[in-house]
Amino acid sequence: MNKGIRPDIIWFNSFIITVLCVFAVILLRFEVLDIFFAFGIFGIFLLTAVFSYMLGLQRGLLVSVAVTFCYGSYLIYAVIISKEMTTVEPLYVAWLFLIPTISILAAKLGESIASNSAVAKDIEAIEELVTLDGATGFYNNQGFFKKLDEEFWRAKRYNEVFTLLLLQIANFDEIQIAYGNVGASRILIAVAQNIDQQMRGTDIKGILVNNTLGILMPGTDAAGADIVVEKLHLFLTVVAVDFENGKKNIKVKPSIGAAAFKESDIDVIEVYERAKTELTYDRG
């Protein structure tokens, strides 16, 4: 089997070719066959395929076996007992093999599609983990800017709004000197936890560099962002941090820059640069 071709494509093509061949034979034999009988069996043929696709290979085969048994019993009755059929067309006999065949193809198609969907979800989950910061659960730099770019183009397309906040701990250098790198990391985690408690579940948070965080607020304009900035200044002035020797309240100077999306923005960099400029004016 060619490894370059996905299994679901192979099963789908096999399924379609089988259905089309059967349908073509029915049309070619139109004058000879009882057309209502032939299309009735064709309908059962397709229903068996649908059930097999939905139920899986094992249950699908059970359905096809039951259908084939009923159909075979009818043929025996019509030919031997009631004498309704004096001759048996080859296609009538072929149904005994076509029904289980289409059942297997449909079931394999369903399993292959489900398998590919599961793989796609696993890949998406892995990509999500790769773009997350392990300490805070926020997006890392790469993941945050990917989300920011997606939101930018969504807002551009649907004429919606969003605001980008950049939050920097202005006294982070002093914190590192006083508490060391490990202590500074714990303080950053505490700041991130406070931010997470104050923001909406739909807001996207990220760690951009060691002392700067990004917050993406979909559906929030400049006026709404001002309220959020005031709230963050209030709740982040003092944060409770767990150290090895107990919990301490640490004074933090959060500097926050906000930039709302504008229709005139060409790309996400323009929004980011405006937020960065605003950040320089707010020194906590």
Beta carbons within 8 Å of 67's beta carbon, 6+ residues apart: 44, 48, 99
As a whole number of angstroms, the distance between CA 262 and CA 202 comes to 20
Q: Delimit the domains of the chain by residue range.
A: 7-124, 131-281
Amino acid 118: pLDDT = 66
Q: Which of 53-57, 157-161, 220-224 has the lowest mean pLDDT?
A: 53-57
Is the pLDDT higher at 261 or at 188? 261
Tell me which DSSP letter residue 53 carries: H
What is the arithmetic mean of pLDDT over 234-260?
A: 86
Which among 36, 43, 7 is positioned nearest to 22, based on CA atoms? 43
Q: In which band, very low, low, confident or very high, does the pLDDT at 284 lie, cut at 50, 70 and 90? A: low
Residue 260 pLDDT greater than 90, yes or no: yes
238-243/246-251 β-pairing: antiparallel
Q: Calculate the CA dihedral of residues 216, 219, 224, 228 and round it to 10 degrees.
A: -30
* The pLDDT value given to residue 162: 94
DSSP H helices in 56-89: 57-76
Cα separations in angstroms, 243 against 138, 189, 249? 21, 12, 10
- pLDDT tops 60 at residue 2: no
For the chain, give the mean pLDDT: 82
Of 237, 272, 240, the residue nearest 257 (C-alpha): 272
214 pLDDT above the threshold of 60: yes
CATH topology of domain 131-281: Alpha-Beta Plaits (3.30.70)
Span 214-229, average pLDDT: 92
pLDDT at 1 over 50: no
* Residue pLDDT, tens place only, 5-30: 667 677 777 888 888 888 887 777 66
**SS3 at position 63:** helix
- Range of lowest pLDDT (107-111, 130-134, 199-203): 130-134
- Residue 209 in 3-state DSSP? strand
pLDDT band of residue 120 (cuts 50, 70, 90) is low
Mean pLDDT score, 242-261? 86
Mean pLDDT of all residues in 83-100: 79
For tokens 């009538």, name the residue.
92
Measured in degrees and rounded to the nearest 5, phi and psi for residue 269 equal -65, -35
- Considering only residues 6 and 69, tell me which one the structure prediction assigns the higher pLDDT: 69
Share of the chain above pLDDT 70, in %: 88
CB of 138 closer than 8 Å to CB of 201: no
Confidence (pLDDT) at 151: 92
With beta carbons less than 8 A apart as the criterion, state whether 212 and 167 touch.
yes
- Structure confidence at residue 258 (pLDDT): 92
Q: Compute the distance between CA of residue 147 and CA of residue 127 in angstroms, rounded to an integer.
A: 13
| Predicted confidence band of residue 57 (pLDDT cuts 50, 70, 90) | confident
Model pLDDT, residue 154: 92
Strands (E), 124-251: 162-169, 204-209, 212-218, 238-243, 246-251
| Cβ contact 102:41 at 8 Å | no
